[in-house]
Amino acid sequence: MSTSLAEAQERADARRRAEERRATVASFAREYPFEGREFDLGGVVYHYLDEGPRDGAPLLFVHGNPTWSFHWRNAIGAFRDRHRCIAVDHVGCGLSDKPARYPYRLAQHVENLERLVLALDLRRITLVAHDWGGPIGLGFASRHLDRVARVVLLNTSVFTGARAPWRIRACRAPGLGALAVRGFNAFAGLATVMAVERHERMTPAVRRGYLAPYDSFAHRIATLRFVQDIPLSPAHPSYQELARIERSLPDFAGIPKCLIWGGLDWCFTPEHLARFRAAWPDAEAHLDERAGHYVIEDARERVLRWMQRFFERHPLPVLALDGPTAPTAGPTSEPRSAGQE
């Protein structure tokens, strides 16, 4: 196939994917009024949002399981007037590709995030991470501390040796776990009930937003793979990467850090918050005792206020761009707007 024909096919494929994404978000478009972008990970599409001024200090939002960039919609709406807000969808999640054969491991997700951040040449980053986004985001940040200016963590963990709650372990059971998570969408579906305490905030539109990308057995593959990738023993393939990230925590000394926690989270309990506070005695910490795992849903106003005050206490000057914000390595690594011609 000639270069021109290949480029035409690529543009057609991008338009098709953009149409599919518009159809996916149509029923909750008011909750998610953002333009999606694509990053090519060697033939696998990595979807992300890039909202706000390009010369604004970047906020890098990294979600967990079973959420996606939709989880950060209120924070993006609150901060995109003065910050550049980047929110990724991990491979297998949200509006990214969901390949059946893929190394859905912690190290791979860290590498994917790293490739995007380096391609965009983001600097003076404020990392904002929740759930699995904690180890993925800190996994990237620990390798590029010179690019990281602030860290905000919400209900997450990077600690080896933790025991998984029985509800998580049940989803890892051979056969039964796959049937429940992929067959009946039990993990994502039940999270819209079990991860929140203020159920009135899980409106039909918000619930559709959380669940829309996981509408079939095939599209729920990463939901299961994330559960299976929790390294509960040193023999697990992701244990060493998690241990590396845990060992890196002292390296964040001197970087302003903010910990925001929902106290009723049955998975990442306040014990995890206490372990972070022990590792980071200089970190600012906030606990909402009435909020659950989706603390940014239950306590949205308080969370955004805590974040804003943290940013004000640790201001970053807006810097003029002195280099390209898009990669120059060619089409295999070029971010583009979804449907861009």
Closest CA to 338 of 62, 32, 112, 27: 32
Is 229 considered catalytic here? no
Torsion angle defined by CA atoms of residues 275, 279, 283 and 288, in that order, rounded to the nearest 10 degrees: 0
Six token digits for residue 194: 């079990």
Please count the other Cβ atoms lying within 10 Å of the Cβ belonging to residue 52: 19
Is 130 considered catalytic here? no
Q: In sequence order, what E strands does the chain have?
A: 36-40, 45-51, 58-62, 84-88, 125-131, 148-156, 257-262, 284-288, 336-337
Catalytic-role residue among 63, 219, 293, 298: 293
Q: How far apart are CA 304 and CA 69, in angstroms?
A: 16
Three-class DSSP category at 316: coil
**Alpha helix (H) ranges present in 195-299?**
204-211, 221-228, 239-247, 270-279, 295-298
CA atoms within 13 A on the CB side of 309: 12
Is 293 considered catalytic here? yes
Catalytic-role residue among 40, 89, 229, 265: 265
Q: How far apart are CA 112 and CA 89, in angstroms?
A: 10
What is the β-pairing status of strands 45-51 and 58-62? unpaired
Q: Are 139 and 106 in contact (CB under 8 A)?
A: yes
Q: Are 43 and 336 in contact (CB under 8 A)?
A: no
Catalytic-role residue among 97, 131, 229, 288: 131
Six token digits for residue 188: 């994502």
Helices (H) and strands (E) in the chain, counts: 13, 9
Distance of CA 42 to the CA centre of its chain: 20
Residues marked active site are found at 131, 265, 293
